[in-house]
Amino acid sequence: DQQVKQNSPSLSVQEGRISILNCDYTNSMFDYFLWYKKYPAEGPTFLISISSIKDKNEDGRFTVFLNKSAKHLSLHIVPSQPGDSAVYFCAAPRTTSGSRLTFGEGTQLTVNP
């Protein structure tokens, strides 16, 4: 039962352009969402999060948008840089206020110079 889905396994963009990574979820009880970034041979690192009481959260070049009615969130990276090339996972806690995260499958972002 994949409650968090990332339907695009890969995305390629040019340096300086916008990267948009998408994530859909099925459980309407999810109230908090996180994005993690993972480089090869390293563990995932926390990137940005959003609470369900907001529809947008911004941190520098990274913005996460949440559309609760569509059960959809997206991560925007502007401008994209080659160092952003990584696998991006969206995740949500399985229980309210818990750290038992359920993860999407991940999207490999490649930013070309």
Of 90 and 111, the one with the shorter C-beta distance to another protein is 90
We find the least distance from the C-beta atom of residue 15 to another protein, in angstroms, to be 27
Contacts with another protein, residue ranges (CB under 8 A): 4, 6, 9, 32, 34, 36, 41-46, 49, 51, 89, 91, 93-94, 97-106
**Residue 38, beta-bridge partner list:** 87
Of 28 and 97, the one with the shorter C-beta distance to another protein is 97
Ordered DSSP codes for 17-47:
S-EEEEEEE--TT--EEEEEEE-TTS--EEE
One-letter amino acid for residue 42 of the chain: E
